[in-house]
Amino acid sequence: EKGGWDSFMDKEIHEDPAAVQRTLLGRFDDSGAIELDEVRIDEHDFKAIDKIIVVACGTASYAGQVAKYAIEHWVRIPVEIELAHEFRYRDPILNARTLVVAISQSGETMDTLMALRHAREQGSKVLAICNTQGATIPRESDAVLYTHAGPEVAVASTKAFVAQITAAYLLGLYLAQVKGTMFRDEIRQQVDSLKDMPRKIQWVLDTQTAAVEQAAERMANAQSFLFLGRHVGYPVALEGALKLKEIAYTFTEGFAAGELKHGPIALVDAGEPVVFIVPPERGRSVLHTKVISGIEEVKARGATIIAVAEEGDKDVQRYADVVFWRPACPTLMSPLVDVVPLQLFAMNMAKIKGYDVDKPRNLAKSVTVE
Ligand code: M6R
């Protein structure tokens, strides 16, 4: 079943490109317009949506956090991310114009299920982004957008994450189309960028694996790691930190890079490994400059810098001890590639330490209790 790989996690990381590709398949009509078959909320109701609340847990919530940047930019409506287990206990403001998006790989996470039931009771429509056909969450939702990542066996979620981002981006572009917040050409451009991503992810798998393995060998004894990113790199940092703590049992924290000077920099000591997700240099170059200055600050305190950055980034070359390169891509698309070396890194760290990467201690694949 592992198809020649020595763990399901290894196999599933290598299915990241296919997961994105399959999630995009069959979602466009002949003219290239986005067509979401399984979404049975009528266009009129979609047009009226003025707010999105994503409810999810763990990795699925980070996929939602990535999508917030894209959807707010494309559709110009607020997108809130709420951990599903916090949601119904705070009396959230819901009405028929709020679309609640429940993201879940398994479709059986009890916290997420309870959140969506609460949302429907309050009169909101719920759309599920789910990887498991016929699971409870899609069955109880008004609409479902399946991720077609294929069954995910390893407890640590990998290919489902990139598929969830892809599906949420499709939803965003569909909403932009229905609400007319983007020109057709602009939508097509984003779709083309999305369609390019499987090839770019494959490039990372083909060319960066050796560097990741070497880095894991070098860092195997580190006691803790910090993960930092800005903009879409922030949820990627959170996801990288979660992967490493889940399967390598290493203490990690993910932060927004801008928070460094508001506290976390106190943790940085000589030799502390700090992982930076560095945004592309072009386009949002302000972001790039700010992340680089964060790198300089921790470097000055003797930290070991691991960077995920765009090929040829000279600033990164100057400061980083280890670099995992990404091929050039638009900022909003970068999480789809940037998470890949972090998945591989966590897996390699766990393997070096002799842990079962598919079945980490204390964790279950789907959490069916609240
Ligand atoms: O099946 P779900 O997507 O609803 O699961 C949500 C989380 O439990 C899940 O993502 C968890 O954080 C994973 N172990 C992450 O690798």
- Residues linked to residue 50 through DSSP beta bridges, in sequence order: none
Which of 243, 227, 221 lies closest to 345, judged by CA?
Answer: 243
Read off the amino acid at residue 13: I
Phi and psi at 11, nearest 5°, equal -60, -45
ipTM of this complex prediction, to 2 decimal places: 0.98
Strand 98-104, strand 125-130: pairing: parallel
Closest C-alpha to ligand 1, atom 14: 156
How remote is the C-alpha of 167 from its chain's centroid?
11
Structure confidence at residue 50 (pLDDT): 96
C-alpha 315 – ligand 1 centre gap (Å): 35
Closest C-alpha to ligand 1, atom 4: 104
Residue 172 in tokens? 């965003």
Flag residues of the chain having pLDDT under 50: none
Structure confidence at residue 284 (pLDDT): 56
Phi and psi at 367, nearest 5°, equal -100, 100
Residue 272 in tokens? 């502390």
Pocket test for ligand 1, best of 16, 105, 144 (most atoms within 8 A of CB): 105
Which of 332, 34, 360 lies closest to 165, judged by CA?
Answer: 332
Positive/negative CA dihedral, 190, 130, 19, 85: positive
3-state class (DSSP) for residue 292: helix
Determine the Cα–Cα distance for residues 116 and 127; give it in Å rounded to an integer: 9
CA distances for 168 relative to 55, 64, 68, angstroms: 13, 7, 9
Pocket test for ligand 1, best of 367, 368, 369, 370 (most atoms within 8 A of CB): 367
Strand 143-146, strand 251-256: pairing: unpaired
Structure confidence at residue 235 (pLDDT): 98
Pocket test for ligand 1, best of 65, 85, 106 (most atoms within 8 A of CB): 106
Structure confidence at residue 204 (pLDDT): 98
CA distances for 111 relative to 52, 114, 155, 169, 352, angstroms: 18, 5, 17, 24, 34
Closest atom of ligand 1 relative to the 365 alpha carbon:
14
C-alpha 363 – ligand 1 centre gap (Å): 10
C-alpha 359 – ligand 1 centre gap (Å): 13
Determine the Cα–Cα distance for residues 198 and 16; give it in Å rounded to an integer: 8
Structure confidence at residue 367 (pLDDT): 87
Residues labelled catalytic: 365
